[in-house]
Amino acid sequence: MSQTTPPDRVRVRRAPRFPAFLAAGGLVGVVVALVVALTRPADPDTGFWSLFALLGLFGLVAGLVVGAIVALLLDRRAERRAALVEAEREEGLPVGDGPDARPLTERDLERLESAGPAGASAAAEPGAAGPAEPTEGEEAR
């Protein structure tokens, strides 16, 4: 049986994913550098690829900076729009030890009890199966 405590007030907000904004900004910077390199005449001594590499490097850095600024502005906006909601804390046994760990609920306990000892090990290993059945050419040992 799980015990609940009085509801807590927590802030809920939608935060931007910074790596996605950095990657998108860097990609846009490189594409802009490619377009600029294609529209400019290349120096015959150095060639197109050296021009693109130089512009691509600057475009990548500029795109990363712009992506970071956009993400920071959206993060600040999300902070202002954060809502206070009531949340109840459930006590229970921890399930897993990774970032997705959650408390074990009564429903989880019921499911484990109804599965029995064999079902509990099968539930713990989703890809695990029993022994393979023999095919036509093989005999059971």
The H-or-E segment that residue 84 falls in is strand 83-87
- For residues 50 and 107, which has the higher predicted lDDT (pLDDT)? 50
Per-residue pLDDT tens over the stretch 15-41: 889 999 999 999 999 999 999 999 988
Q: Which residue has the tokens 């109804």?
A: 114
Structural contact between residues 71 and 22, judged by C-beta atoms closer than 8 angstroms: yes
Helical segments of the chain, H only: 18-39, 48-80, 106-124
Angstrom distances, CA of residue 26 to CA of 18, 65, 68, 72:
12, 8, 10, 16
The H-or-E segment that residue 7 falls in is none
pTM above 0.75, yes or no: no
| b/e sequence 60-90, b meaning 16+ C-beta within 10 Å | bebbbebbeeebeeeeeeeeeeeeeeeeeee
Whole-number Å distance between alpha carbons of 108 and 26: 44
Structural contact between residues 63 and 38, judged by C-beta atoms closer than 8 angstroms: no
Per-residue pLDDT tens over the stretch 67-117: 999 999 999 998 888 888 887 776 665 556 666 666 667 787 777 778 766
